[in-house]
């Protein structure tokens, strides 16, 4: 089978590799259909690492995908050959304290598709994953929408974990795919007053189309002053989706006393900091979001029931052979890209 291999910093090659095979009775053989390019893939593509996770070349990245079931082991139930599925990229052990406590996303033996040292990613024609990672679409969402379920589930989880109640206000800092996913999920929960900041105008426009009550570019205006003016009491919840010190600081500034800061963005710096006077006086709750937990089916249902519309997020599509062009586009934030998808099975 063919796969796209990372072979160095900003280097990728379409190669012939050994075809994926079923090994365990709970395994499912998938033919990849569509693959999404994620910001975290960019960390590996451009710097060869995220924190302590360092790529050993050659390596296959990619974790957002939809696929068709080709075959499965004898212990698999609930799937048929030919089923279209959204793929949950986290493979947990189901045995450790975290899994038993209902936290498979922080499993002690977690393997995540396309994470160095864990398991290879999905940028290939075929792939084998445990049946627990396969979520049939039942024909209710498209294969492209099924790819978006992975980033969208993170927004669904962040909103769920924030405890957002109907009518509560939200500030979203950063309107890439994850920020837009938080926006869609917060709207589905009927948040009252969702303000968005973002430095790329095409993404701001997408946030406005997706129903943000106010959206502005911090390069053009003092967004903190503007948000304070419009929301004098401050916000109930801030979703930091940019991974920048600047946006973390802005989030603290615009939160109301007792507000919650959801930390979702992945900073490139080794440390982030907070003004202790501000977070202490306001008694801000800091909540980290590690990907998502048990939100894939909810994400799919929200799309299937038309309670969210994420199609606008897909700005570019590429052939499998042109994967590197897709990566360069996303790495350069060029041409108003929000989510680039790769068609594997053309």
Stretch that binds Zn ion, among 84-92, 249-257, 270-278, 303-311 (CB under 5 A): 84-92
Closer residue to Zn ion, CB minimum distance, 152 or 195: 152
Using CB under 5 A as the binding rule, the residues of this chain from 86 to 145 that contact Zn ion are 92-93, 96, 99, 107
Closer residue to Zn ion, CB minimum distance, 90 or 227: 90
Helix then strand then coil, % of the chain, to nearest 5? 30, 30, 40
Closer residue to Zn ion, CB minimum distance, 153 or 223: 153
Residue 139 and residue 80 in contact, taking contact as beta carbons nearer than 8 Å: no
**Please, what is the minimum distance in Å from the beta carbon of residue 82 to Zn ion?**
26
Q: Classify residue 116 by burial, with Cβ atoms within 10 Å: 0-12, 13-18, 19+.
A: buried
The C-alpha torsion from 82 through 84 and 88 to 92, rounded to 10°, is -20
**Please, what is the minimum distance in Å from the beta carbon of residue 151 to Zn ion?**
5
**Please, what is the minimum distance in Å from the beta carbon of residue 98 to Zn ion?**
5
Closer residue to Zn ion, CB minimum distance, 227 or 330: 330
Give the integer Cα–Cα distance in Å for 243 and 154: 15
**Please, what is the minimum distance in Å from the beta carbon of residue 63 to Zn ion?**
6
Residue 298 and residue 305 in contact, taking contact as beta carbons nearer than 8 Å: no
Closer residue to Zn ion, CB minimum distance, 92 or 292: 92
**Please, what is the minimum distance in Å from the beta carbon of residue 41 to Zn ion?**
7
For helices 177-188 and 143-162, give the axis angle rounded to 10 degrees: 70
Using CB under 5 A as the binding rule, the residues of this chain from 13 to 72 that contact Zn ion are 38, 64
> How many residues interact with Zn ion (rule CB under 5 A)?
7
Contacts of 183 by beta carbon, 8 Å cutoff, 6+ apart = 155, 172, 175, 194, 196, 207, 210, 211, 212
Closer residue to Zn ion, CB minimum distance, 107 or 252: 107
Site residues (vs Zn ion, CB under 5 A): 38, 64, 92-93, 96, 99, 107
């Amino acid at each position: 089978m063919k796969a796209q291999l990372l072979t160095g910093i900003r280097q990728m090659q379409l190669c012939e590799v050994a075809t994926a095979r079923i090994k365990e009775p709970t395994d499912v053989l998938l033919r990849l259909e569509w693959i999404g390019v994620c910001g975290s893939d960019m960390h590996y593509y451009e710097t060869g690492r995220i924190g302590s996770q360092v790529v050993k070349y050659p390596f296959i990245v990619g974790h957002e995908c939809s696929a068709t079931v080709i075959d499965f082991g004898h212990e698999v139930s609930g799937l048929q050959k030919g089923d279209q599925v959204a793929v949950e990229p986290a493979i947990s052990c189901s045995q450790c304290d975290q899994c038993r406590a209902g936290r498979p996303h922080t499993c002690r033996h977690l393997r995540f598709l396309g994470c160095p040292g864990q398991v290879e990613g999905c940028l290939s024609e075929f792939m084998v994953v445990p049946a627990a990672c396969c979520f049939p679409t039942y024909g209710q969402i498209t294969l492209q929408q099924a790819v978006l379920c992975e980033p969208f589930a993170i927004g669904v989880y962040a909103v769920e974990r924030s405890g957002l109640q109907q009518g509560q206000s939200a500030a979203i800092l950063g309107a890439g795919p994850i920020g837009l996913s938080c926006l869609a999920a917060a709207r589905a929960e009927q948040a009252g007053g969702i303000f968005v900041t973002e430095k790329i105008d095409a993404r701001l426009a997408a946030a406005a189309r997706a129903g943000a009550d106010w959206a502005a570019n911090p390069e053009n205006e003092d967004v903190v002053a503007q948000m304070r003016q419009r929301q004098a009491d401050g916000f109930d919840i801030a979703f930091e989706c940019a991974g920048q010190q600047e946006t973390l600081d802005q989030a603290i500034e615009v939160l109301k006393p007792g507000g919650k800061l959801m930390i979702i963005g992945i900073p490139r710096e080794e440390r982030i900091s907070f003004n202790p006077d501000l977070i202490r006086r306001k008694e801000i709750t800091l909540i980290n979001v590690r990907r998502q937990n048990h939100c894939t089916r909810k994400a799919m249902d929200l799309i299937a029931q038309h309670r969210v519309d994420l199609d606008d997020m897909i700005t570019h599509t590429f052939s499998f052979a042109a994967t590197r062009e897709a990566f360069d586009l996303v790495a350069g934030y060029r041409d108003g890209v929000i989510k680039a998808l790769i068609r594997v099975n053309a």
